[in-house]
Amino acid sequence: MIAPNKPRHLVTWISLLAMGLASLSACSSLSSGAYPAAPTTVEAADYNYVIGAGDTINITVWRNPELSQVVPVRPDGKLAAPLVEDLVAQGKTPPQLARDIEKRLATYVRDPIVTVIVTSFVGPYSEQIRVVGEAAKPQFLPYKQKMTLLDVMIMVGGLTDFADGNRATILRGSEGNKQYSVRLKDLIRRGDVSANVDMRPGDIVIIPQSLF
């Protein structure tokens, strides 16, 4: 029975509001459990850095200082150095690039010995870590061996005030774009280290906005 001091339209509005809140709560619970939890650790496979556009390369040619130079990898993924023009560097490891430079120099230098050292790291897009959504500073980061989710979140300045951190996910390209749930709020704001997970090259961290 409706109390006389409560108009029928007000009761109806309150009922609809309660139903809406219950529906949103159910959706939120469903969304947070829509993906399996990210594995805490991943297989410790050997990781070799792959050169990307924007990297800076130190090329040293033994006993030929005039051919040794620090050069950038251009946006097209190539580099140019003395006696070496338009050589593809992107997608290669430093030793692979050194062998390719030796082959180019062999036309001019007898038995060249080349060492390649990367001094500024960007890496190829396929291996960069990307953070999108409600991070303080959404950006891409070069992947580093044994990098964790906590390391990534420190670099991007944590969460915004509007982030729903415990509904965040990781999209893992190395596993066919499989998506995992992660608990960023527990990790960052509650200090729950059990929510920390290992990152893999090419991971994308997606942080949604809170519904409230």
Would 37 be classed as within a structural domain?
A: no
Q: Check whether residue 206 and residue 151 sit in a common domain.
A: yes
Would 93 be classed as within a structural domain?
A: yes
Distance CA(76)–CA(39), nearest Å, equals: 36
Would 212 be classed as within a structural domain?
A: yes
Domain region containing 173: 128-212
Would 11 be classed as within a structural domain?
A: no
pLDDT tens readout for residues 5-54: 545 554 444 454 444 434 434 444 344 458 999 999 987 667 899 999 99
Q: Check whether residue 142 and residue 210 sit in a common domain.
A: yes
Would 23 be classed as within a structural domain?
A: no
Domain limit, last residue, from 120, 147, 170: 120
Q: Check whether residue 98 and residue 114 sit in a common domain.
A: yes
Stretch among 29-33, 100-104, 149-153, 187-191 having the lowest mean pLDDT? 29-33
Query: pTM for this one?
Result: 0.79
State the DSSP H helix or E strand holding residue 102, giving kind and residue range, or none if neither: helix 94-105
Would 111 be classed as within a structural domain?
A: yes
Would 97 be classed as within a structural domain?
A: yes
Domain CATH for 144: 3.10.560.10
Predicted pLDDT of residue 43: 73
Domain CATH for 86: 3.30.1950.10
Distance CA(184)–CA(196), nearest Å, equals: 8
Question: By percentage, how much of the chain surpasses pLDDT 70?
Answer: 83
Q: Check whether residue 87 and residue 134 sit in a common domain.
A: no
Q: Check whether residue 135 and residue 192 sit in a common domain.
A: yes
Predicted pLDDT of residue 34: 86
Distance CA(8)–CA(31), nearest Å, equals: 35
Domain limit, last residue, from 120, 141, 173: 120
Q: Check whether residue 135 and residue 203 sit in a common domain.
A: yes
pLDDT tens readout for residues 116-132: 999 999 999 999 999 99
User: What's the total number of domains in the chain?
Assistant: 2
Average pLDDT, the chain: 88
Distances (CA, A) of 23 to 9, 146, 202: 21, 40, 35
Nearest to residue 200, comparing CAs of 180, 168, 182, 174?
174
Q: Check whether residue 133 and residue 208 sit in a common domain.
A: yes
Q: Check whether residue 161 and residue 179 sit in a common domain.
A: yes
Residue 2 binned pLDDT confidence (cut-offs 50, 70, 90): very low
Check: CB of residue 138 under 8 Å from CB of residue 153. Answer: no
Would 30 be classed as within a structural domain?
A: no
